[in-house]
Amino acid sequence: MFHRGWLAAAAAALVLWAAAAQGAPLEAYGKLPTLSNVIISPDGATLAYVKELDTKRVMVAQSIANRQVLGIINITDSKVRNLQWADNQTLILTTSVTALPRGLTGRRQEYMLAQSFNTQSKQQRALLDHVGNLKEDVEVMNVVAGVPQPRTIDGHTVIFVKGIYFPNNVGHLALFSIDLTANSTRIVSRQNDSRAEDWVVDDAGNIVAESSYDEEEQHWKLEIFRDGERTTVMDVPAPIESPSLEGLSEDGTAVIVSLPGNDGNPTYKQISLKDGTASAWAHAEVGFGGVITSLKTGRVTGGTRLTETNDYVFFDPHADRMWRSVKAAFKSATDVDLESWSDDRMKVVAHVFGTDYGEGYFLVDMTQHHASPVGPAYAGIDDVAPRRWIEYKAADGRVLHAYLTLPIGKDGKDAKNLPLIVMPHGGPHARDYPGFDWFSQALASRGYVVLQPQFRGSDGFGLDLLTAGYGEFGKKMQTDLSDGVRALAAQGMIDPKRVCIVGASYGGYAALAGATIDTGIYRCAVSIAGLSDIRAQLRYWRWPRNNVDARSDRFWDRFLAVGDPDDPKLKDISPIKHVDKVSIPILLIHGKDDTVVPYSQSDDMADELKDAKKPYEFVTLRHEDHWLSKSETRLQMLQATVKFLEANNPPDPPAPPTPVASAQ
């Protein structure tokens, strides 16, 4: 149990963070987080984090005891994807870059790069640099394809990570071993194996399992390593969904494999490393959506429970008690997310969100029963808008859920006849997540209700909801959104004549479909990196043709219920083919460096709207990717969106201030 002083410290943090009144400037929401990637070292002595300053972004390592800065790197021009500790003095920073390396054929892609930084020596190095055991005519770049996994072997810090190498200029996956102590790097998996895709490494740094995929047979195979021999222990058909290697069992004697389940939840098996036999995993019935694997040991330590809020279950009773205590300390919070904790679980970094707390990071010291504020992720935002989980029915009776964010100062009882923004998520086989969402919070701060439906085709809520979206692009997936509008209108919460739709990626497609296919619902539409021409998008994804692994192609064929990109049904669901039906203003926003949905999807849509003399605006984000990874262009997107919404769907004017009686 926590002492009262703990909660008092959490409340005091709110005062420390108070930097703005209701309706913070858009810069507070639109720029990259002021503070992110907050992690604690294994011994609990040092915090590391990414800090956004006025003119630059830095990675910082800082002593917890005396707040002394132990190291700092300028990463202003980097797109940070991950930060982790390899040991108590060494950090691993993963970034990405949009590029087409010299000598390769194809189009520009997003490549992941990794480097280490030692807080004592201040030395930096690329992880996949100077690989020592390459065969002739083999090249390698510092491109990683997975999360680095540190091990301590004979006193050395050794990193294992999937990476890409190029025998005969053809990219293959391999497992690399990087001994940071000895400054040596080598490939430890078989070279020239084009089918291998994942590996499990034990505490001693030995590969104990390898999975591979055979595109010709459309089979997934698992091999285990015993006494220097490879033994195939699983060989299953996997034309689309494949099993996954999750890691080692708690005692390290088996490999945990998740297989696609018939109900949408994975089925877990454990494969003995001694004899290769498969059996049910002891923790399979705990009831979680995904596993938590220790990067330090490779062993599965728990699982995630994600519905409308974040939660975790840990198999070690001590760890599970520690997490329950942390949650109890912030019992009135809307969401508490575990960011990082020390090896002994006595120091925890939690990201907390709720109207009683605002949002930000806390350092929880279990020995002192005290929570100290590290800082807000978004400096300058004091008041946060209330966000809750709601339920409504689609026209065919299907029960759907959504996140509903109300304008700041509204509690639901006084929310009447308000303007609404419908914000469908990307994917579409994805979902929205609990916690602080900068985009919906920014719009709510301007007086809008924001609805984020988990429409059919969304993932993370069971197989039934996911498969219900197959073949429903522009159809029931779209009307699930407008059914949410009708449900809120029936409650009197929103004004059905003041509704706009805003989305990115698939959400951008849904915004365009709301203007061209499911019409008559919205006053305006904002498409951010959205698809307009499904046929052109499928052709983009399929060139150059990947003859090694076409599972993604088969997935989209199934999701769209088509046989190939030339299927005439695609015209019916492509907004660019229905520009004649547009009767509302459309804002198109797209990054020039987008490698997922190409810039041409918005550029071509703009041309069609222009030729048809339809009302539209087009904003180009220079040097921006699909994920809005840069502060300047992310803010540019938000400012353009809010300006467009306020012009075409004005919010209610702010209420006049309450007069304060003068002293007599």
Comparing 309-313, 333-337, 390-394, which segment has the lowest mean pLDDT?
309-313
Task: Beginning with the edge strand found earlier in the chain, give each strand of the sheet holding 335-341 in spatial order.
Answer: 335-341, 347-354, 358-365, 370-375
Helices (runs of H) and strands (runs of E) counted in the chain: 12, 36
Contact between 69 and 104 under an 8 Å Cβ cutoff? The reply is no
**Residue 262 pLDDT > 90:** no
In this structure, the dihedral spanned by the alpha carbons of residues 301, 307, 310 and 312, taken in order and rounded to 10 degrees, is -20
Q: How far is CA 348 from CA 157, 365, 599, in A?
A: 23, 7, 42
CA angle (510, 511, 517) in 5-degree steps = 70
Cis bond before residue 424 (omega within 30° of 0): no
Segment 50-74 shows an average pLDDT of 94
Segment 71-99 shows an average pLDDT of 95
Q: What is the pLDDT of residue 503?
A: 98
How far apart CA 422 and CA 425 sit, in angstroms, is 10
- 97: confidence class by pLDDT, cuts 50, 70, 90: very high
DSSP 223-250: EEEETTEEEEEEEEE-SSS--EEEEE-T
Segment 259-275 shows an average pLDDT of 85
Read off the pTM: 0.92
Segment 578-593 shows an average pLDDT of 98
- 505: confidence class by pLDDT, cuts 50, 70, 90: very high
Contact between 381 and 17 under an 8 Å Cβ cutoff? The reply is no
**Residue 279 pLDDT > 80:** yes
**Residue 330 pLDDT > 80:** yes
Q: What is the pLDDT of residue 559?
A: 93
**Residue 35 pLDDT > 60:** yes
84 vs 552, more confident: 84
- What is the tens place of the pLDDT at every residue in 366-385? 999 899 999 999 999 989 99
- 546: confidence class by pLDDT, cuts 50, 70, 90: low
Phi, psi (rounded to 5 degrees) for 138: -115, 130
Which of 91, 217, 78, 244 has the alpha carbon at shortest distance from 157? 91
Q: Locate 115 and state its tokens.
A: 């480097």
**Residue 359 pLDDT > 50:** yes
For residue 323, which amino acid is it? W
**Residue 547 pLDDT > 70:** no
Q: Locate 469 and state its tokens.
A: 């979206």
Crossing angle, helix 317-329 and helix 4-17, to 10 degrees?
60
How far apart CA 553 and CA 545 sit, in angstroms, is 10
Comparing 107-111, 144-148, 636-640, which segment has the lowest mean pLDDT?
107-111
Which of 47, 51, 50, 52 has the alpha carbon at shortest distance from 37? 50
**Percent of the chain scored above 70 by pLDDT?**
93
Q: How far is CA 224 from CA 150, 162, 245, 254, 272, in A?
A: 21, 18, 12, 10, 9
Q: What is the pLDDT of residue 136?
A: 64
**Residue 20 pLDDT > 70:** no
Comparing 128-137, 241-250, 546-555, which segment has the lowest mean pLDDT?
128-137
Segment 183-195 shows an average pLDDT of 90
Q: What is the pLDDT of residue 14?
A: 34
Q: What is the pLDDT of residue 654?
A: 72
- What is the tens place of the pLDDT at every residue in 424-438? 999 999 999 999 999
Which of 107, 33, 82, 102 has the alpha carbon at shortest distance from 593? 107
**Residue 662 pLDDT > 70:** no
Segment 619-626 shows an average pLDDT of 97
**Residue 298 pLDDT > 50:** yes
Segment 196-220 shows an average pLDDT of 95
* Residue 523 CB partners (closer than 8 Å, separation 6+): 497, 498, 499, 500, 584, 648, 649
Q: What is the pLDDT of residue 7?
A: 32
* Residue 370 CB partners (closer than 8 Å, separation 6+): 5, 6, 9, 364
**Residue 544 pLDDT > 80:** no
- 106: confidence class by pLDDT, cuts 50, 70, 90: low
> For 266, which DSSP code?
P
* Residue 561 CB partners (closer than 8 Å, separation 6+): 470, 471, 569
Mean pLDDT across the chain, nearest whole number? 90
Greatest CA span in the chain, whole angstroms? 92
Q: Locate 516 and state its tokens.
A: 């061209």
Tell the residue number behind the tokens 């005969």, with chain if given.
168
Q: What is the pLDDT of residue 149?
A: 96
Q: What is the pLDDT of residue 530?
A: 98
Q: What is the pLDDT of residue 18?
A: 34
In this structure, the dihedral spanned by the alpha carbons of residues 215, 221, 225 and 228, taken in order and rounded to 10 degrees, is -50
* Residue 298 CB partners (closer than 8 Å, separation 6+): 149, 200, 201, 202, 203, 247, 248
**Residue 37 pLDDT > 90:** yes
- 169: confidence class by pLDDT, cuts 50, 70, 90: confident
Q: What is the pLDDT of residue 5?
A: 33
**Residue 19 pLDDT > 60:** no
- What is the tens place of the pLDDT at every residue in 453-480? 999 999 988 889 999 999 999 999 999 9
For residue 200, which amino acid is it? V
